[in-house]
Amino acid sequence: MDKIANLTRRSALFRAIREYFYDRDFIEVETPVKIHAPAPEEFIESVRAEGDFLRTSPELAMKVMLADGFERIFQIGSCFRADEHGRRHREEFTMLEFYARGMEYREQAQFTAGFVAEAARRVLGGESVVYRGREVDLGSHEFITVEEAFRRYAGVSTQEAERQDRFDELMVTKIEPELGRGRLTFLTDYPAGRASLARLRADNPAVAERWELYIEGIELANAFGELTDAAEQKARFRAALEFRAAHGMHPYPAAVEFFAALDRGLPQSSGCAMGLDRLAMIFCDADDIGDVRSDG
């Protein structure tokens, strides 16, 4: 497909996604792109902007909205991550992020599979797409836990991978290439030490209510059953800031508004962030994000 055809299909994809959310009583929102205090993340660096930062995600601002009473919200907009370049990375990219009160994290995965399949039907005329020579059924999905994936594809447990300090290496080289083959794969239940902003499972606190979505080895989305414990969230932020300082990353001010929202009470909810450029790549059978963006 040429660039005009790709961008036309991208537009149709975005429209289909928006209509799916509108039909299910989500409110489309817009939060600031230039922010004072990003969420401290250990392996994602922000872009500085006149003393502030360009958002790496709208996550904290949208969680403040949940605490203020909003129940179902989504937004599509630009996010920024420093020094990210390549076929599947750009410093500026388009993200879909959405949150729902009372939606359990596995229920949210089913919701996500639903809008991918519905978008395929509206945009492609069916649920099947050929991506890089392989047919993918976008109407079919599976769940596999991180522990199961490590044992199946890397031949070790997650505990052993962590002990060897090879978790990230094995994830990239052995596991991710096997995920999403022919259908959507939800990689679920990350070890507690990799919970990020997800809460731990009440019935198994060794793992977190977290999943990532893959299609043909491409990571598309990251989702949490949201952590609502203010003290625990603040402790995780402190640990992340210490990691960033030790590795020479940007220092961040305290996320005052977000902490105030936590203290008011963040409702039980789940949230998901999806890279829409990557989803557009799959819908267009493109090999580079630049093929589905107007900025190349």
Token pair listed for 43: 């392996």
Residue type, 10: R
Average pLDDT of span 220-248:
93
Supply the mean pLDDT for the chain.
Answer: 95
Which tens digits make up the pLDDT trace of 79-121?
999 988 888 889 999 999 999 999 999 999 999 999 999 999 9
Token pair listed for 167: 């978790």
d(CA 195, CA 215): 22
d(CA 26, CA 78): 20
Please give the tally of structural domains in the chain. Answer: 1
Determine the pLDDT at residue 42: 87
Domain that holds residue 135: 3-292
Determine the pLDDT at residue 183: 98
pTM of the model: 0.95
pLDDT at 1 over 80: no
pLDDT at 126 over 90: yes
Average pLDDT of span 148-157:
98
Determine the pLDDT at residue 85: 82
pLDDT at 271 over 80: yes
Which tens digits make up the pLDDT trace of 42-76?
889 999 999 899 999 999 999 999 999 999 999 99
- CATH number of 256's domain: 3.30.930.10
pLDDT category of residue 143 using cuts at 50, 70 and 90: very high
- Cα distances (Å, whole numbers) of residue 252 to 126, 208, 243: 46, 25, 12
Determine the pLDDT at residue 84: 83
Average pLDDT of span 17-32:
98
Average pLDDT of span 183-198:
95
d(CA 262, CA 235): 13
Residue type, 153: Y
pLDDT above 90 covers what percent of the chain? 92
Which residue has 């580079």 as its token pair? Answer: 288
Helix, strand, coil % over all residues of the chain, rounded to 5:
40, 30, 30
pLDDT category of residue 259 using cuts at 50, 70 and 90: very high
